[in-house]
Amino acid sequence: MSNQNSLKVGMIFISMIYFIFGFVTTFIITLSDPVMEAFDLTYTEGFLVNSAFFISYALFSIPSGGVVKRIGYKNSIVVGLGLISLAGFLFFPALRTESYPFFLGAIVVLSLGVVLLQTAANPFVSELGPPETASGRLNLTMALNSIATWIAPLMIVFLILPAAIPAIADGINGAVGTGIRPSDLLPPFMIIAIIVLLIAIAVRLIKLPVISQEGAGNYATVFKYRHVLLGALAIFCYVGAEVGIGTAISSYIVQPEMGGGISRELALKFVGLYWAGAMVGRLFGAISLSDIKKKELKMTFAALVMVWAFIVGYITLEFNFMMALTFFGFAVLNYVLMQLGKGKASLALSVFAIVAVILAVTSMLTTGRIALWSIVSIGLFNSIMFPNIFALAIKGLDRSEVALAAGIINTLIVGGAIIPALMGVVADAFNIQYSFIVPVLCYLYILFFAFIGHKIKPAPGTAAAGPAKA
């Protein structure tokens, strides 16, 4: 197989992996609202679903970087898929016994697999081509990841909520009926377990390009790069803000002050649209940050993505033309503002961080449809943040340092555990609308990283780790 064909196979394969961990991650994030009902929990207790998932990033990302360096990218991904499948089967006894602690434990095992997948996948994509187009490749694969994040909330709507209808009807008739029950959550996990197991077996048999990790890189040298550490903190803020908002949306927009008339099913579909926004924005990012030279070709691809945005909005929001048109309008705005980035990862990141702050503050200060669309449309502007932050954070590193740096950066994905929990505390103490001040602070730090923090310098008190390959 030629090197070019090998790289193509690698990109196809890694896109599938991004789809898997994107689906699993968003499925768990969106599940907090049904879980609160199934186990009769408070906001703080319910948001522990996300904490249980993301705490593994703090505990195991750095060891995962060492695992990837030792056994290679492919073997690490196979092991990660195996852990996800194992966790899927563990949900059977957890939900049958209606044990919330056991349920949280199964989520931790699931997250271990996702941590290993992500630690291997991000540097693998970055190394599958020239460094200057790494952001474009990451945006493309994460756009496919975001297709999964769009589908995951819809899977809850179609597989979990219908199971609650008979119970609700029984309650109306005077029998014991409490809506969603723990056992109603089981079918999606069984489907995930079986499908991921089959994919793990298939991946084991696929021949993939081998990315060299030879060199003298170790954690001591990687920790000397200031931009790696600041980038890790930016990932903490980004994931925390994205997950926190995605977790809160369904509970937020069904509040009476939001204008009323929004059912739980439609609220979950708006969650799907929030994550679909990331998909649309990343497709725009893959186009804008690619090495495509012809402007006309870029515009053609962008127009196709805009049409896709309308279709996604139309399908997701119960075939409502006006709401789909509103989402389309935000998608067009997303593309226009992305052009202010002029194809530069740091500048595009700056613009989107500013817009995210404006939208979150607008939602906090308003009600009704303005507040709803302000918070949902943030998904579009979250889109390029992770890939751009990651690409900027590993810029200038040797290949022997990339997997280790990915482990450090992924450790701070634990923001997805901490920020939603903080938002839950604020929501319980005050109001869920006020909880969005937490992601606002996160986006302000990302703005700092985009302007200043991404510049390649040694960490304070250390000598330069090596040549700064800007």
- pLDDT, residue 168, reads 38
DSSP codes joined into one string, 130-141? -GGGHHHHHHHH
- pLDDT, residue 314, reads 93
The pLDDT confidence band at residue 191, using thresholds 50, 70 and 90, is confident
Most confident of 184-188, 250-254, 361-365: 361-365
The contacts of residue 135 (CB under 8 Å, 6+ apart) are 285, 289, 345, 384, 387, 388, 391
- Whether the per-residue pLDDT at 130 is higher than 90: the answer is no
Please state whether the predicted TM-score (pTM) of the whole model is above 0.75.
no
If you average pLDDT over residues 331-360, what whole number do you get? 90
Homologous superfamily of domain range 3-206+218-453: MFS general substrate transporter like domains (1.20.1250.20)
- pLDDT, residue 298, reads 83
Asked if 178 contacts 171 with a C-beta cutoff of 8 angstroms, the reply is: yes
Q: What is the residue extent of each domain of the chain?
A: 3-206+218-453
DSSP codes joined into one string, 391-447? HHHTTT--HHHHHHHHHHHHHGGGHHHHHHHHHHHHHHHT-TTGGGHHHHHHHHHHH
CA distance 161 to 164: 5
pLDDT in tens, 100-112: 889 899 999 998 9
Higher model confidence: residue 151 or residue 441? 441
CA distance 285 to 339: 10
Asked if 391 contacts 138 with a C-beta cutoff of 8 angstroms, the reply is: yes
pLDDT in tens, 297-315: 888 988 999 999 999 899 8
What mean pLDDT is reported for the chain? 80
- pLDDT, residue 462, reads 55
- Whether the per-residue pLDDT at 368 is higher than 90: the answer is no
The pLDDT confidence band at residue 209, using thresholds 50, 70 and 90, is low
- pLDDT, residue 67, reads 85
- Whether the per-residue pLDDT at 375 is higher than 70: the answer is yes
pLDDT in tens, 377-394: 999 999 889 888 988 888
- pLDDT, residue 354, reads 96
If you average pLDDT over residues 396-414, what whole number do you get? 80
The total of other beta-carbon atoms located within 10 Å of residue 391's CB is 28
Q: Which residue type, as a one-letter code, is found at position 363?
A: S
